Amino acid sequence: MAAELSPQQLSETHRPTLDQALDAIGTRAYWSPHPEHPKAYGEGGAPGSLGPAEGKAAFDAVLNTRLDLGQPGTDGWTGGETSPYGLALGVEYPHADPDVLLPAMTAGMGAWREAGPETRALVCLEILSRISARTHELALAVMHTSGQAFLMAFQAGGPHAQDRGLEAVAYAYAEQVRTPLTADWSKPQGKRDPLKLSKSFTAVGRGVSLLIGCNTFPTWNSYPGIFASLATGNPVLVKPHPRAVLPLALTVRLAREVLTEAGFDPNLIALAAERPREGIAKTLALRPEVKIIDYTGSTAFGDWLEANARQAQVYTEKAGVNTIVIDSTDDYRGMLANLAFSLSLYSGQMCTTPQNLLIPRGGITTDAGDKSYDDVVTDIAAAVTGLLGDDARAGALLGALVNPDVKARVDGAAELGEVALPSRTVANADFPDAVVRTPVIVKLDGTKQDDGAAYLSECFGPVSFAVAVESTADALALLRRTVREKGAMTVGAYTTSPEVEREVEDVCFEEAAQLSLNLTGGVYVNQTAAFSDFHGSGGNPAANAALCDGAFVANRFRVVEVRRQA
């Protein structure tokens, strides 16, 4: 079949974007080719993109259908997702026999390898642009699987996820072209003729790359691994979380279309949806064909993968305990507002949401006067209450609880300590079945640092702890211990003291944690921007990889050298 998308056409369309992405990861200034505003799509917006109504229609059209991806080895159908907003999606996905599907996925590797790094990158960019055009549809798919509010599902699940995918492509491309395709080597031999060799260097993929998706960020946490592996020559098997299949199934469908149009084997990407309680991730992770695994989820399964999937390169993002050190501030109101937003966004169901607020029990100095520990806790609670006072606004910020386990943790929080801010049930006018709860803040005594202290475990969801510590020095010691033992995706600190600032930095350097200092405006500790911010460090127990850096891509391929006498 003649390719409908020629390399030249791909290059004209996407090479400038690739170059801009390569530039952005070098400068780390702000950049994104994917507009954040919903109105930027559809009529008058990005060419060929679906507008709000079209996206909604596309989403509705896929509900209660069988999504046939035309994959080899389909031995049945599975599905059964229910939206955290109450809607039963009713979509059926192919169930795969790995004995048939995995060999079929490796069949196209040779042509994909021969295409070379640039063509692979450009095909990935075409896939991303198709995804971008359907952002409205994907936003609804993300919303109705993760429970994110619409605007967040749109932005985090759309342009921000696409940015992270593009960033991974840029890193993958840059890493592969560090070595030239060919070299002439001539070694002087004094008076004799030089020794001469002609050499070629080929980036070769390792084998099937398994993506194990999560419930809360089905696209954002998956696109980096998917695109890093595809761009480095590997087929990608996408195993979504069973409660968040649709966004990745739609992604796989678009990717298979583009691969076909560009003349490659569509089986270079495939979906592995599972039957209820089938637990296929464990089976797939140990298959000899699987050479790379990207995983986001629980520490227990992440640790299991690292220990057992020894035939694969394993990239994990697991649980962590994120800390905010509150030492002092010259913008007390700004700090309160910023923290209230961070605790509330998506009901605290982000891997980057702060959990432990470490506050000296002697209080802190601020531009609004000295504040006791109780003042600070009360004021944060009031800021959250103020932010979420209106149900409609609260719902747009909180989204819905993703599963009953999160609700159980909210309900059980009062048993952990004195409740400084109780959780409130919020009604969602559009989706009465949605479970929407405001954050709960619990006061804990951090002066003893017991091994069994509640604040030393991740309590995923809208539960945070106002931990009273003896001093800022003790806060730093607890921060260090928490990051070292439990890991952290984010650390925040508020201080007006250059010395304290330096001390917090040192802890973060020594324990490899990403630090946000004195955020009081419209940037929040739980948000990272592709091309500029690293998500995680890969150097503490919360994650063994960062999004995105050289290490995330460099071992997904190997360089095979062929040398010949010249």
Binding residues for its own copies, rule: CB under 8 A, are 25-30, 109-110, 113, 174-175, 178-180, 183-189, 195, 197, 199, 201-202, 204, 206, 306-307, 310, 505-506, 508-510, 512-523, 529, 532-534, 537-539, 546, 549-551, 554-555, 558-565
Query: Which is nearer to its own copies, 135 or 232 (by Cβ)?
Result: 232
Query: Which is nearer to its own copies, 259 or 508 (by Cβ)?
Result: 508
| Neighbouring C-beta atoms of residue 287, cutoff 10 Å | 18
Q: How far is the CB of 543 from its own copies (least distance, A)?
A: 10
- Return the residue matching tokens 């021969």: 114
Q: How far is the CB of 486 from its own copies (least distance, A)?
A: 15
Give the H/E segment covering residue 404: helix 404-412
Strand pairing class (208-212; 491-494): unpaired
Give the H/E segment covering residue 398: helix 391-398
Strand pairing class (192-205; 182-189): antiparallel
Query: Which is nearer to its own copies, 264 or 373 (by Cβ)?
Result: 264
Inter-helix orientation angle 109-133/246-261, to 10°: 120
Q: Which residue intervals of 108-242 are DSSP H helices?
A: 109-133, 135-146, 150-157, 159-176, 223-231
Query: Which is nearer to its own copies, 330 or 391 (by Cβ)?
Result: 330
Q: How far is the CB of 113 from its own copies (least distance, A)?
A: 6
Q: How far is the CB of 558 from its own copies (least distance, A)?
A: 4
Query: Which is nearer to its own copies, 3 or 562 (by Cβ)?
Result: 562
Query: Which is nearer to its own copies, 54 or 306 (by Cβ)?
Result: 306
Give the pair of three-digit tokens for residue 130.
């198709």
* Whole-angstrom distance, CA of residue 214 vs CA of residue 200: 40
Q: How far is the CB of 429 from its own copies (least distance, A)?
A: 28
Among 67, 131, 73, 68, which residue's Cα sits nearest to residue 106?
73
Q: How far is the CB of 439 from its own copies (least distance, A)?
A: 23
Q: How far is the CB of 26 from its own copies (least distance, A)?
A: 7
Give Rg (Cα) of the chain: 25
Query: Which is nearer to its own copies, 411 or 505 (by Cβ)?
Result: 505
CB under 8 A, 24+ apart: contacts of 1-10: 1/263, 2/263, 3/261, 3/262, 3/263, 4/261, 4/262, 4/263, 5/123, 5/126, 5/258, 5/261, 5/262, 5/263, 7/115, 7/119, 7/122, 10/119, 10/122, 10/123, 10/125, 10/126, 10/262
Q: 215 near 94, Cβ under 8 Å?
A: no
Strand pairing class (557-565; 192-205): antiparallel
Give the CA distances from residue 297 to residues 16, 212, 539, in Å, rounded to whole numbers and listed in that order. Answer: 35, 8, 17
Query: Which is nearer to its own copies, 159 or 439 (by Cβ)?
Result: 159
Q: How far is the CB of 216 from its own copies (least distance, A)?
A: 23
Q: How far is the CB of 78 from its own copies (least distance, A)?
A: 33
Residues 6+ positions from 527 with CB-CB distance below 8 Å: 352
* Whole-angstrom distance, CA of residue 21 vs CA of residue 191: 49
Q: How far is the CB of 49 from its own copies (least distance, A)?
A: 19
Q: How far is the CB of 44 from its own copies (least distance, A)?
A: 16
Amino acid type, 429: A
Give the pair of three-digit tokens for residue 226.
């998917």
Q: How far is the CB of 109 from its own copies (least distance, A)?
A: 8
- With H, G, I as helix, E, B as strand and everything else as coil, classify residue 7: helix
Q: 422 near 437, Cβ under 8 Å?
A: no
Give the pair of three-digit tokens for residue 177.
């072209």
Q: How far is the CB of 33 from its own copies (least distance, A)?
A: 14
- Return the residue matching tokens 């739980």: 526
DSSP state of 38: G
Distance of CA 534 to the CA centre of its chain: 11
Give the pair of three-digit tokens for residue 535.
């998500």
Q: 415 near 361, Cβ under 8 Å?
A: no
* Whole-angstrom distance, CA of residue 113 vs CA of residue 182: 16
Distance of CA 223 to the CA centre of its chain: 8
Q: How far is the CB of 165 from its own copies (least distance, A)?
A: 19
Give the pair of three-digit tokens for residue 270.
């495939």
Amino acid type, 371: K
